[in-house]
Amino acid sequence: MSPTSEPRLDVLKTYKLFINGQFPRSESGRTLPIKGPDASIIAHASHASRKDLRDAVLAARAGLAKWSSATAYNRGQVLYRLAEMLQTRRDEFVHLARLDPTRLSGADALTPAQEVDAAVDRLVYYAGFADKIAQVLGSANAVNGPYWNITQPQPVGVLALALPADAPALLALISLLAPALAAGNAAVVLSAAFAPTVSTLGEAIATSDLPPGTCNLLTAPLEELAPIAAKHRDIDGLLSITTPATAALITTLREGVAENLKRVHVFDPAPFTDTAAWHSLRCLEPCVEYKTVWHPVGT
């Protein structure tokens, strides 16, 4: 067979969703074009639908039981294992960071390698904090009576994490996800950020010993799925970040949760490279609620 002179057509990858430990395409069959820094199409991503969100919430609710009942020490081990998986695939994530058009720039700029290293370090930090949350946020309260009065932090439950399109995908996602998982929550990530990074993180999670359903990753425009998540009665809380892309969306989210009284917390736009801001209790506190126990002392 003689070689052809016709130009070859590249087969572009389609990045999948990550639901219940598996990698399905969207049930709608829709895809989103993924563009690189030069605006050329470099891949496609599954465009999550309302049903995909429903499936992810069901998976998260099932995964929550195993994850929240694990010891805090064990959760820390699993998060450290996830940091190992990121470190193992460091070159791949560095390559994706170079393609991400929302990568940090200006005074807070990091090289792609520095961004990936910062994400690994953030995971290691919260892996180490997992078995210290109760000591730091809990308390033994003074009461006037023959009782022990103890306050303990508990996971909120199923958290939806809304990741905006103008956030650096890996570092922003880890900044929301790591404290949520360290506190014992299950997560449904709604991401409009750079989909190849988000989907590839799912591949790392799949080999990290995290129970299936504990973390689910959906790629879609936030204006489609975030308002649905706000009204979903089996989602216990919603976290997001203030960026120019979410300025109008935040009001919609707060209006949506008014009907079911779920928690909404929007982090201030601290630079993602600011370790004092992102390695702190301000990230853990929205991921817990408190249970106070009274116990009689003596006979």
The answer as to whether 148 is a domain residue is yes
Smallest Cα–Cα separation from 215: which of 197, 201, 226, 229? 201
The answer as to whether 3 is a domain residue is no
Question: Mean pLDDT of all residues in the chain?
Answer: 91
Query: What CATH number is associated with residue 162?
Result: 3.40.605.10
- Using the predicted structure, report yes or no on whether residue 1 has a pLDDT greater than 70: no
Q: Which domain holds residue 206?
A: 15-288
The answer as to whether 213 is a domain residue is yes
Work out the pLDDT band at 252, boundaries 50, 70, 90: confident
The answer as to whether 164 is a domain residue is yes
Structure tokens at 221: 């425009």
The answer as to whether 130 is a domain residue is yes
pLDDT of residue 105: 64
Task: Provide, rounded to the nearest whole percent, the portion of the chain with pLDDT above 70.
Answer: 96
The predicted model gives 76-94 an average pLDDT of 97
pLDDT of residue 269: 75
The answer as to whether 225 is a domain residue is yes
**Is residue 34 a contact partner of residue 44, using CB atoms and an 8 Å limit?**
yes
Q: Which ranges of 232-279 does DSSP label H, i.e. alpha helix?
A: 247-257, 275-278
At 129-176, the pLDDT tens digits run: 999 999 999 999 988 888 889 999 999 999 999 999 888 899 999 999
pTM given for the model: 0.93
At 18-53, the pLDDT tens digits run: 999 999 999 999 999 998 888 889 999 999 999 999
Task: Provide, rounded to the nearest whole percent, the portion of the chain with pLDDT above 90.
Answer: 73
The predicted model gives 92-120 an average pLDDT of 86
The answer as to whether 134 is a domain residue is yes
User: CB atoms < 10 A from the CB of 39, how many?
Assistant: 8
The answer as to whether 166 is a domain residue is yes
Strands (E), the chain: 14-15, 31-35, 41-46, 139-141, 147-155, 158-163, 186-191, 215-219, 237-241, 263-267, 288-296
Determine the Cα–Cα distance for residues 259 and 255; give it in Å rounded to an integer. Answer: 8
Determine the Cα–Cα distance for residues 105 and 62; give it in Å rounded to an integer. Answer: 40
Determine the Cα–Cα distance for residues 282 and 129; give it in Å rounded to an integer. Answer: 13
Determine the Cα–Cα distance for residues 147 and 132; give it in Å rounded to an integer. Answer: 25
- For the chain, helix, strand, coil in percent to 5 are 45, 20, 35
- Using the predicted structure, report yes or no on whether residue 299 has a pLDDT greater than 80: no
- Using the predicted structure, report yes or no on whether residue 2 has a pLDDT greater than 60: no
At 209-238, the pLDDT tens digits run: 999 999 999 999 999 999 999 999 999 999
β-strand partners of 254: none
Considering its fold, how many domains does the chain have in total? 1
Sheet bearing 215-219, strands edge to edge: 215-219, 186-191, 158-163, 237-241, 263-267
- Using the predicted structure, report yes or no on whether residue 108 has a pLDDT greater than 70: no
